[in-house]
Amino acid sequence: MIDLRQYKPDSDLLKDRAILVTGAGRGIGRVAALTLAKHGATVILHGRDVAKLESLYDEIEAAGGAQPTILPLDLAGARDCDFENLALAIESQLGRLDGILHNASHFDHLGPLDQQRLDEWLVSLRVNLAVPFALTRACTYLLKNAPDAAVVLTAETHALQPKAYWGSLAVAKSGLLALATIQAQEWEPHAHLRINVVVPGPVDVPQRLKTHPGEAREARAAPEALMPAYLYLLGPDSRGVSGHVVQAQD
């Protein structure tokens, strides 16, 4: 791994690459989509709120980026066939897929385990853990056909340091670390495939306000501060780097 604090990506780092960004409607996903497009990627925008995705689409085009693609999907209710259809739509519209940034997440509230319900856990585990697996699986044939492909999972600080009251979110995000390790090992015969995890740390996004409402804003990094990590892991400079957990603010 390189020192990401010193990483200076080329302006056309992602030229000729198609990259799917889940949860692109707001927060880290929105900034990531804009940043990837700025560096040459054709971005596939996923989210639930079509109006937000359309606004982001217009912003990318206005900035001179390649024409994005919008593929909305409610992850909480999606099944294997939905992910397979999404992969087929990408193949039909773009003919390729060179990367996936899993950024979509689900969070209800903090609370003790004895006050959390099974249904809440199932939704959290589905969106935060099972969906990244299922979507990656459905798209693997496209990634294998790419000359150089990368998958990046977005975890959370409590995946590394589980703590009281973080319940299903901490458990689900911890599972992403195991998922990345297993997938990296299974992809070892394929030198052009890699998967890694980014732990953003405290970031000034809507979810952070839910969990730390009294936190001073200056204690949170802007989403833009995380982008060198995502650019490095999704671009060609990280070829051969797989199964790593990157703490973006270290």
Q: Which domain holds residue 70?
A: 4-247
Per-residue pLDDT band for 206 (boundaries 50, 70, 90) equals low
Domain tally, the chain = 1
Confidence of residue 78 (pLDDT cuts 50, 70, 90): very high
Q: What is the CATH number of the domain that holds 65?
A: 3.40.50.720
- Separation between Cα atoms, residue 206 and residue 163, nearest integer Å: 21
Among 131-140, 187-196, 197-206, the least confident range:
197-206
Q: Contact 70/48 with Cβ under 8 angstroms? A: no
The fraction of the chain above a pLDDT of 90, given in percent, is 79
81-95, 120-134, 135-149, 203-217 — which is least confidently predicted? Answer: 203-217
Vertex 187, ends 138 and 88: CA angle to 5°? 20
Residue 17 contacts residue 48 (beta carbons within 8 Å): no
* 15-47 pLDDT, tens digit each: 999 999 999 999 999 999 999 999 999 999 999
Alpha helices (runs of H) in 95-225, residue ranges in sequence order: 118-125, 131-145, 157-160, 167-186, 206-211
